[in-house]
Structure 1
Amino acid sequence: MLQLFFAVAFSAVPLTLYIPPIRSLNLFVETIEDMLRQMAVHTIRTYPRIRLAFSRILSNLLRLSR
């Protein structure tokens, strides 16, 4: 059982190298929030256009199949 514990413990140590320290995590979270905010603006603008284009394509396909 002790050998299993040490095997799991030492295999998890390299994973801590991929996790950034807490002090730099704040900047990362702020950057992600800003990116999501900018994407939301573009999504709100383009969603009605995409929906209209999709409905036109679908109605043309249905009209051709009749």
Structure 2
Amino acid sequence: MLQLFFAVAFSAAPLTLYVPPVRSLNLFVETIETLARESSVYTNRAIPRLHLAFRRILSAFLRALR
């Protein structure tokens, strides 16, 4: 059992390198929030257009199957 514990512990150790330290986590969250806030203008315009395009493609596909 001890060998299994050490195997799991040492295999998870490199994963800790990808986790940012707590002191820089606030900066990361702030950056993500800013990115989401700035991209929402473009997203709000793009989603209706994508919805319309998907509906047109789907209706053309369904018409072709009749």
Q: Which range, TM-score by smaller chain?
A: 0.5 to 0.7
Q: 1:9 to 1:47 in 2, by over 3 A?
A: closer
Structure 1: segments with no counterpart, 5+ residues: 62-66
Corresponding residue for residue 42 of structure 1:
42
C-alpha RMSD of matched pairs (Å): 2.5
TM-score, normalised via structure 1 length: 0.67
TM-score, structure 2 length as denominator?
A: 0.67
* 3-state SS, counterpart of residue 15 of structure 1: helix
Change over 3 Å in CA distance of 1:58–1:15 after alignment to 2? closer
Match of 2:64 in 1: none
Larger radius of gyration between Structure 1 and Structure 2: 1
More moved, 21-30 vs 44-53? 44-53
